[in-house]
Amino acid sequence: MLGSVLKHIRVFNKNTQLELAENLDISRSYISEIESGNKTPTIELLQKYSDNFNIPLSTIMLFAEEYDDKKGLRKKAKHLLARKTLDLLDCICKEDDK
């Protein structure tokens, strides 16, 4: 799911894979592999995404977390996910207003 989120962030910000690769100083093919789920980004690369798109790393990391339903966390997880998603959308909208 994280690769899909990173792709959506890139596309929403109207970046091609090549443009993002140049900004993050990595190869376009590596971005493609991450977005398709074939590679897992490092925390350092996620920090670069965070800095590049001005989105808190914690918001990006939310999508990498897994929840244990056996402990009754489903409701809390849904609430947290909704809150973080709204935070992400707020960040994106603020960038659009600039």
Q: For the chain, what is the mean pLDDT?
A: 84
The sign of the dihedral angle between the CA atoms of 6, 64, 37, 25 is: positive
Return the CATH number of the domain spanning residue range 2-97: 1.10.260.40
| Residue 70 banded pLDDT, cuts 50, 70, 90 | low
Please give the residue that has the higher pLDDT: either 94 or 56.
Answer: 56
Overall average pLDDT of the 48-71 stretch: 79
Residue 9 buriedness (CB in 10 A; 0-12 / 13-18 / 19+)? buried
**Between helices 43-53 and 17-24, what is the axis angle to 10°?**
110
